[in-house]
Structure 1
Amino acid sequence: MKTIKSLFLLSLLIVNLLISSTYGSSIRVSIVGGEEAEVIEKPRTFGNKRELKLEYSQIYPKKQLNQENINFMSARDTFVDNLMSKMSITEKIGQMTQLDITTLTSPNTITINETTLAYYAKTYYIGSYLNSPVSGGLAGDIHHINSSVWLDMINTIQTIVIEGSPNKIPMIYGLDSVHGANYVHKATLFPHNTGLAATFNIEHATTAAQITSKDTVAVGIPWVFAPVLGIGVQPLWSRIYETFGEDPYVASMMGAAAVRGFQGGNNSFDGPINAPSAVCTAKHYFGYSDPTSGKDRTAAWIPERMLRRYFLPSFAEAITGAGAGTIMINSGEVNGVPMHTSYKYLTEVLRGELQFEGVAVTDWQDIEKLVYFHHTAGSAEEAILQALDAGIDMSMVPLDLSFPIILAEMVAAGTVPESRLDLSVRRILNLKYALGLFSNPYPNPNAAIVDTIGQVQDREAAAATAEESITLLQNKNNILPLNTNTIKNVLLTGPSADSIRNLNGGWSVHWQGAYEDSEFPFGTSILTGLREITNDTADFNIQYTIGHEIGVPTNQTSIDEAVELAQSSDVVVVVIGELPEAETPGDIYDLSMDPNEVLLLQQLVDTGKPVVLILVEARPRILPPDLVYSCAAVLMAYLPGSEGGKPIANILMGNVNPSGRLPLTYPGTTGDIGVPYYHKYSENGVTTPLFQFGDGLSYTTFNYTNLACSNCKPISGQSGNYTGVLGQSYTFTVTVTNNGNVQGKDSVLLYLSDLWAQVTPEVKMLRGFQKVDLMPAKSQQISFTLNAYEFSFIGVDNKITLESGQFIIMVGNQQLGLYLQ
C-alpha cells in the first residue's frame, strides 16, 4: 500500500519538476509514510500569489425569469397577500405546525378519528401532517398501507381541514420516501443512496427520484422528505447508507440530480410543481452526518473551514443550483450549537449566501429537544423563541399541541411579533400555492398514475440501478463470472442470501425495516434470482442453507451444516451483512461484523473451496483483512432494494458485467476510520483501508489515453504540461478504450490535486465523473469541464478562494500538469 502511495506522490513530484524547470526556487517537502524527505522545486509565483474570492451568487447566478415566471409570481403574491390579510394569529400558527398521523388515528388501527381531526382543524387550524400510521410497526394486524387506503386517508384529512379553516386553507402532507415510496404498498424500492452513488451515474439518481415522487404523489402526498445530502464520512453512523457516500462532489451531483428528478426540473419559487412531481426536502441541513461519537443526533465538532469545504457544497448545489423547495434541519448540534438555534447557518448562510426562498422544517420534536436534550433552553417558550430567531418555518412537533398553544401565548404577550409569523407563513403558503393545493387540494383516486404504482418498467429501472451499483472489489483468478463448464455445484449461504428484508434495510415498509419478506409484494432474494436465471438444472446445482442468523447466540450446528455442504461444492457464495435499522435504534458500539458471520466465513474459507463473499450492509462493517483477502472474490451490494437479488445473480453468472465503484473508504480495522480518500498530505501513510474510494473491477479491462486540456496553453517542450489563467473554466479530454473481450461500463473519474495553497490542500479531490458503455475494442473520447469553483478551496478567512499555482489533473493512469497564473 505504501509503495502505491509513494508512486502516486512521485508522479506528482515529477510533473512538478518539469513545470518548475521554467519557474523554480527551492523548497523542502516531506513525504509522510516511511519515506525520507526529498528536496523538490516549487514554482515561482511571479511575486505575490494571485488570489480571487468567490461568492455563491457568482457560482450560481440568479435565474433569469421569463414572462411565465413573472406572471406566476405576480398571481401568487396577490393571492397570498389577500389570504394573509384575512388570517388570524391562530390560523398563522397552525400553518407553522406539523403533526404526526398517529395523533389522528385510533390506537392500534389506521382509522382516522374524525372527531379529533375536526377539533384540531377548527381549534388550531393545523396546516401539515406527516408519516405513515405503520411507520413504527404494525397497527393491530395491519402491516402496510395500500394506495386506496392512503387516498381515502388523505382525502378525509384534507376535507375536514378545509371545512374547519375560516379561509379554506388546505393542509400539506409530507412523507419519508427514502428509497422509493417505501411507505406505499407495491411502490418500487430502489437501492439506498450509497448504492445509487456507486453507479456514478446521475441518470439513475434522477430516475429513482422521478419514480419515487410519482408513487408518492399518486396517493395524494406532494411533499417528499428526501434526499439526504450529508456526506458519509463516519462509518459508525446509523444513517450513512442514506448518504451518497463520502465525497462532496458525488453528493452534490447525485443530490442535485435527485432534486431535479423529484421536482421535475422545476422549483416552487417561480413556477408550479405539478403531478407527478413533488416538492423535495434537502436534508439534514447541515453537519449532521459526522457525529463525533458515531451515534445518531449526537454532537459534531466540525471547524468552519471543514463545514464549508466538505459539508455545505451538496446543499448549495441542491438548493441554489437545483432549486430544492424545502429543507429539513439537522437534529444535532455543531460546535456546541444546535442547528435549530443557529441564526448564522439558518439565516445568514441559508437565506443570505445560498439565497434559499423555501420552507425550513424542523426534524422530529427538535424544538422540544432544545430543553431536555440539548439544554440550551430552560423552558418550552425559550426553545420556541430560539428556533424562531434562528429561522425555522415549520415545527414538526409532532405528537402534541404544545407548539401552537405556547406560541399563541407568546404572540399575545408580545414576545413574538406577528411579523415574525408572517415571514414563515408566507413561505408555507407560497409552497402550497406552487403545489396547486389551493386549486386542487383533494387526491384523485382515478388518476392514471395510481395504476402505475409498482409497474414493471419501474421495477426494471430499479433493477438496472442495482446492476450498476454492485461493486466487484476482488476477483482472484477471474473466479467470477462463474464458469458453468467447470462449476457444477454451488453452495449459497449466509443470513442475507435469501432475505428481501435485508436487501432493503431500514425505511422499508416500516421505519426500522420490514418484519418479514412477505411484506414485499415484489422482489427477489439472491437465492431466488440465482435459481431463476440458472433454472437450477441438473447441470448446475444450487444448494442453500442459512449458515447462521444475525445477532443471535452462536449456532455451531448451523455452521457445520454449511461446512458439510461446502465440501461437495465447487464454489461457495456467502452473503453476510446487517439487519435493517434506521436512526438512533441503529446506533452501534463496534463497527466489526457480527462475530457469528465472521465465524461462518472463516470456517467456509478453511474448507479450501473458492469463496465468493457478498456484502449486504448499511455500513462498511469490519472484517479481518486476511480473511477477506483469502476469499476468491468480493462483491459489495450495499442495500440494493427489493429488486437487488436478480442483478446480483446476473453478475455472478456473467449476464451482467459489474461497473459499480466504492463511494466511500472501506476501513480495514475499527480504529482506522475517519480518514477519507481526500485526506491531507500529512495523513499519507496513516491509514490502510481494506478497499479505497473509487475501487471497482470489471469483467473486461479499460485503458485511458490522450489526456489533454483543450483550452489551456501548452508549455513549450514539456508534453502534458499547460498554463492557464486563474478564474477561467478548462476542458479536459481523455480517450477510454475497452481492451477486453466483453461489453462493459466504466465509471471514469477525474481527480484534481492542488500542490500548494495557503490552507493545506488535499492529496486529491474528485472533480468529475462519467459513465461510458463500450463494446470490445471500442473507444470513446469524453470531456470534463472544470469551472473556476472547482479549483477553489476555503481560505484562511473561510471564504471560497482561488489561488494561482500548480494543479495536477488525473484520470486513471493519465495525468497532466496545469499552472494557473
Structure 2
Amino acid sequence: MKKIFTVFAFLLLAIVNSSSAANMAADTPLYKNKKATVSQRVDDLLPRMTLKEKIQQLQNRASGGANDIENIFKGESYGCTHEMNRSAAECADMYQKLQTYMLTKTRLGIPILTAAEGIEGILQNGCTLFPQELAQGSTFNPALITRMTQAAGAEANVIGIHQILSPVLDIARELRWGRVEETFGEDPYLIAQMGIGFINGYQKYNITCTPKHFMAHGSPAGGLNCANVSGGERELRSLYMYPFKRVITETNPLAVMSCYSSYDGIAMSGSHYYMTDILRDELGFKGYVYSDWGSVDRLQTFHRAVATQEDAAKMALIAGIDLDIDNAYETLERMVKSGKLDIKYIDLAVRRVLTVKFTLGLFDNPYGDPKKVDKIVHSAANVAMSKEVADESAILVKNSNNILPLNLSKYKSIAVVGPNSNETIFGDYAWTERNPKEGTTLLQGLKEVVGDKITLRNVEGCDWWSKNTADIQNAVKAVEASDLAIVAIGTRSTFLGRSPKYSTSGEGFDLSSLELPGAQEELLKAIKATGKPMIVVFIAGKPLAMPWVKDNADAVVVQWYGGEKQGRALADILTGAVNPSGKLNVSFPRSTGNTPTYYNHFVTDREEPFDSPGTPEDPKMHYIFDKPEPVWNFGYGLSYTSFKYVSCTLKDTVFSATGGTVKVEVEVENTGTRDGKEVVQLYVRDKFSSVATPVQQLKAFNKVLIKAGKREKVTLEIPISELGLYNDKMQYVVEPGEFEIQIGGASDNIVFNKTIVVK
C-alpha cells in the first residue's frame, strides 16, 4: 500500500509540474522564445507595443553613468545608446546594469543597442588605440586589418558593445577635407577590400559594423565638411557606390549610417531614392539605417529642404532613416496622432530595429563580461597588434644614397626636431584622456632603440599651425650640434578637436591650403641650410603639398597616425629593425591648385600633352608654372630591399562578356639582402569604351613576404564583371573589346602590360 501511495504521489507531482510548465509556456510570449525564428519573434512583439514604445525604438538615449539609469530611462526602452566619455571598466559596468534594467524594469523587456565608435579601436578611455583608418589602408593588407578588428572586437565584446560605427567607406578625392584620415584612401577597390577585412574582424562577435557615410560624402565642395558633392548618376554608381555594394554583399552588416551631405543637390538623408531604392532594393541591404548625428534635423536647418523639424523627421523616416541619433523623431508621435504621418512608416522602421536586436541575440543575452575587462582591454597582445599595423602602414617615399636604415655606428648625436617629434597624434575619433606624450612618441621610440649610445637632442622648433618662428633658431642650434637631423612634421587631430591644442586635420578641421601649415617649411629650410643630413618624418592625417621636401630631404617616411605605438614603429623603421612595406593609398599633390591628384582620372583630365612649366616671360600652356602630376603617386612605396618582377602569365586571354575570371600569375624576386614585403598590384585599362573610363583602375593586389634572394609566385584574379561600366542608358554592362592588364609595384611603376579580349 505504501508503494502504491508513493507511486501515486509521484505521478500527481509530475502532472502538476507538467501542467505548471505548460501554463508557464503559455504565459511566456513568443518573442521571448529563443527557439522561434527572428521574424516570428518580431511579428509577436510589434503588435504588443504602444505608439510611444515604437517611436522610442527609433531613438537614441545617452545612458549616463550606472547610477543615472532610472533617472534617464524611467522604465522605458530605447533603440540605442552611445556612451563615450567613460573608461572601459565604467562603461562595461554601466552597460551590464543598463541591459538588466531594460530586460527587467521595462514593460516589454526590450534590450538596447549599445553603439561605439571603433574606427581605430573602441572609443572608451583605456582601450587599445590602433592606427587611424588611413594608416590601415596603406598596409594594403586586409587580413592584417581583420586581425586588428578581432582584437578591438574582443574589447568591445567584454564591454558589452554590439554596434561599431565604422568603417568609413568614403573616397578621399578632396584632400582639403578634414576627414581624409578616416578613409582607407582614394581608390574604391582598395576601400572595398579593406572595408571587408575590417568588418569581418568585428563581426566575429555578436557585433554589427555600420559602414558609413552612405554615400559620396568624401568629395565635398571646397573640401568643406558636409558641403554638396557634385556629380552625375554614372559617377555615383561607378565610384561612390562601389565600396558599399561590395561590403553589403560580402559581409552583410546589419546597420548603415547615412551622411550629412547632398549629392547633386539632393540631401542623402532625405532621399527615398538613395536610402531605399538604391540601398535596399538595388544593393540588397537588410539591416537598419542609423542617422549621422543631427543629419535628420539638418534637412531643415542646413539643407533647407523642409520648413520644420516635423517635416524633416517625416522626410527622413519615409526616405528610410530608421533610427535618429538626435531628437527630430520626438515629433513622430504627434504627427501620427494628428494624421500627418501614416503609422505604417513607424512600424516598418521599428521592425528593422527589432530584427537587428533579435539577430544579434540581444533578447537572450545582451551582456558583456565586466570581470574580463582588465584581462582583455589594452592587453599586451592588443598593444602588439597595434604596433604591427603601424609597422606595415608606414611608407618610405624617398631614400637618397640608402641613408636609411640608419647606420647607428656613424652617429654620436642626432637632433630630433619638429612639432610632431615628441607628440603621439592619436587621430580623429580617438577620444582619450591620455596626455599626447603617453603613447610612444618618435623621440621616446628612438630612446628605447638607441639607449644611451647616441645623444638625442629635442627641440620642436615650431608648432603645427602658427607662423611663430621664435623657436626655429633653437632647433637649428640643436641640429648644428648633432650629426644628423630627424624632422617630424605634419598635421594634428583628435576627436572633434577636444585637445587644448589646435587641430589641422579631422572632422570639422578642413584646410583651404594644402601647403604645410604654420612655419613648418621655414623650419625645414633652416635645417637644410645647416648642411647636416635631413630625414623628414611626415606624421599626418592627409597628404600635403611637399615638392620642396621631395627635392631637398635625404629621406622621407610617411606615417598616417599610427596609434599608440607609432613612435616605436617609426624608430624601428628608421633604424632597420622593421623593413617598411606600406604603399601610398592617396597621392601627394604638388600644390593646392594641383588637386585633384588621384591616379584613376579620365584620359581627358591629365593625359593630353602639355608643355614644361613656363616663366612669367614665357608661360607655355596648361598649368603655366607647374605640371598636372602628383609628387608621389598612388601605390608607391620603397623598401630596404629590391624586387624584380620576373614574369607574368595569363591562363587565358579571350573571355565572354557574360562571365569568367582573369587569372594572372606573377613571379617576383627579392634581389636584395633583406627579407621584405611587396604589394603586387594589378590595374586595368579599358582601351576603348562608349563612356569615359579611368586611365587605370586597381582591380587586384596581394601583399607577399619574399625572403632575400628568393622568388614567390603571386596569383591575382579579376572577375570579368569587374570590367563593366554604366553605359549611356545607365545600364551596367561589360562591353566587348580589348582591356590592358597592368602589373607592377605602383600605379606609375608598371612592369608588365598584357592584353585580354572580351567578346
- Shared fold per TM-score greater than 0.5: yes
Structure 1 residue 457 displacement after superposition: 1.1
CA distance in 2, matches of 1:415, 1:792: 45
Moved more, 572-581 or 471-480: 572-581
**Aligned twin of 2:299:** 370
SS of the equivalent of 1:708 reads strand
Q: Is 1:745 the equivalent of 2:662?
A: no
What secondary structure is seen at the aligned counterpart in 2 of 1:327? strand
The structural deviation recorded for 1:552 is 3.5
* Structure 2 counterpart of 1:709: 650
Within the candidate set 415, 429, 436, 1:517 is matched to 436
Query: What is the match of residue 468 of structure 1?
Result: 392
Given that 1:251 and 1:314 are in contact with CA atoms closer than 8 Å, whether structure 2 keeps it comes out as yes
The alpha-carbon deviation at position 586 of structure 1 amounts to 1.2
Which of 417, 432, 446 pairs up with 1:493? 417
Letter in 2 for 1:382: D
Find the partner of 2:209 among 280, 301, 306.
280
- The one-letter code sitting in structure 2 at the alignment partner of 1:403 is Y
Q: 2:490 aligns with which of 567, 572, 577?
A: 577
Matches within 5 A, 1:118-517: 118-119=73-74, 121-122=75-76, 125-132=77-84, 134=85, 145-181=86-122, 183-264=123-204, 274=206, 278-397=207-326, 400=327, 402-404=328-330, 406-446=331-371, 448=372, 451-500=375-424, 502=425, 504-510=426-432, 516-517=435-436
- Alpha carbons of 1:111 and 1:436: their partners in 2 closer, same or farther (altered >3 Å)? closer
The residue aligned with 1:568 is 481
* Counterparts of 2:35 and 2:302, CA distance in 1: 41
Q: Deviations over 1:578-609 (max 9, x none)?
A: 12144553122222212311111110011111
TM superposition shift of 1:517: 2.4
Identify which of 555, 560, 563 aligns with 1:633: 555
Read off the aligned partner of 1:611 and give its amino acid letter: M
Gaps of 5+ in 1: 1-70, 135-144, 265-272, 713-721
1:663-674 to structure 2, matched below 5 A, reads: 663-674=585-596
- Work out which of the residue numbers 507, 521, 540 in structure 2 matches 1:598: 521
Partner deviation per Cα, 1:125-167 (whole Å, 9 max, x = no partner): 42211131x3xxxxxxxxxx22321122223433444455321
Cross-structure match for 1:554: 468
How many pairs does the alignment contain?
Answer: 691
Quote how far apart the aligned CAs of 1:249 are: 0.4
Conservation of the 8 A alpha-carbon contact between 2:182 and 2:428: no
Give the 3-state SS of the residue equivalent to 1:408 in structure 2: helix
Residues 1:95 and 1:778: Cα distance change in structure 2 (over 3 Å): same
> Aligned AA for 1:544?
N
Q: Is this contact kept in 1: 2:416–2:486, CA < 8 A?
A: yes
The match for 1:140 is: none
Where 2:368 maps in the other structure, the secondary structure is coil
For residue 108 of structure 2, give the secondary structure of its aligned residue in structure 1: coil
Match of 1:737, SS?
Answer: strand
Letter in 2 for 1:578: T
CA distance in 1, matches of 2:434, 2:508: 15
What is the alpha-carbon distance in structure 1 between the residues aligned to residue 49 and residue 556 of structure 2?
Answer: 62
User: In the alignment, does 2:728 pair up with 1:814?
Assistant: no
Contact 2:685 2:695 in 1 (8 A): yes
Q: Is the 8 A contact 2:157 2:369 kept in 1?
A: no
CA distance in 2, matches of 1:803, 1:290: 29
Does 2:684 match 1:771?
Answer: no
Structure 2 match to 1:59? none
Gaps of 5+ in 2: 1-32, 497-505, 608-626, 745-750
Q: Does the 8 Å CA contact 2:83/2:91 hold for their aligned counterparts?
A: no
Equivalent residue letter for 1:680: F
Tell me the secondary structure at the aligned position of residue 396 of structure 2: strand
- One-letter identity of the residue aligned with 2:448: E
**Contact persistence 1:287–1:302 (CA under 8 A):** no
Instruction: Check conservation: 1:255, 1:318, Cα contact below 8 A.
Output: yes
Cα distance in 2 between the residues matched to 1:151 and 1:460? 23
- Preserved contact between residue 259 and residue 323 of structure 1 (Cα < 8 Å): no
Residue deviations 1:617-668, cap 9 Å, x none?
A: 1121223x13431100011001111111111101100111111110011101
Is this contact kept in 2: 1:210–1:262, CA < 8 A?
Answer: yes
2: CA distance, partners of 1:322 / 1:161: 29
Equivalent residues of 2:391, 2:570 under 8 A apart: yes
- Give the TM-score, by structure 2 length: 0.88
In 1, the alpha carbon distance for the partners of 2:475 and 2:35 equals: 66
User: How far did 1:544 drift?
Assistant: 1.6
CA distance in 2, matches of 1:441, 1:531: 45
Contact in 2 for aligned 1:495/1:575 (Cα 8 Å): yes
- Report the counterpart of residue 544 of structure 1 in structure 2: 458
**Offset, 1:74:** 5.6
1:322 deviates by 1.3
1:747-800 deviation per Cα after TM superposition (whole angstroms, max 9, x unaligned): 111111111000122111111111111111100111111102221122222222
CA distance in 2, matches of 1:441, 1:460: 29
Q: C-alpha separation between the residues in 2 aligned to 1:493 and 1:162? A: 56
* SS class of match (2:644): strand
RCO higher in structure (CA 8 A, sep ≥6)? 1
1:129–1:173 CA contact under 8 A, matched in 2: yes
1:734 matched residue in structure 2: 666
Q: 1:94 aligns with which of 46, 49, 56?
A: 56
Counterpart AA for 2:469: N
SS of residue matched to 2:292: coil
SS at match of 1:750: strand
Q: Choose the corresponding residue for 2:442, options 502, 515, 526.
A: 526
Distance change >3 Å, CA 340–CA 112, structure 1 → 2: farther
> 1:553, CA displacement in angstroms?
4.6
Identical positions, percent: 29
Work out whether 1:85 is the aligned partner of 2:47: yes
Tell me how far apart the structure 2 counterparts of residues 732 and 524 of structure 1 sit (CA, whole Å): 42
CA contact (8 A) 2:743 2:753 kept: yes
The CA distance in 2 between the partners of 1:380 and 1:606, in whole Å, is 60
2-structure distance, mates of 1:628, 1:639:
20
The more displaced of 286-295 and 419-428 is 419-428
Greater shift in the superposed pair: 251-260 or 211-220: 211-220
Q: CA deviation at 1:677?
A: 0.2
3-state DSSP of counterpart to 1:352: helix
Q: What is the aligned counterpart of 2:690 among 744, 752, 758?
A: 758
Matched to 2:446, the amino acid is L
Counterparts of 1:688 and 1:619 in 2: how far apart (Å)? 17
Aligned to 1:117: 72
Contact 1:297 1:584 in 2 (8 A): no
Q: Which amino acid aligns with 2:592?
A: T
Answer yes or no: is the 8 Å Cα contact 1:184–1:216 preserved in 2. no
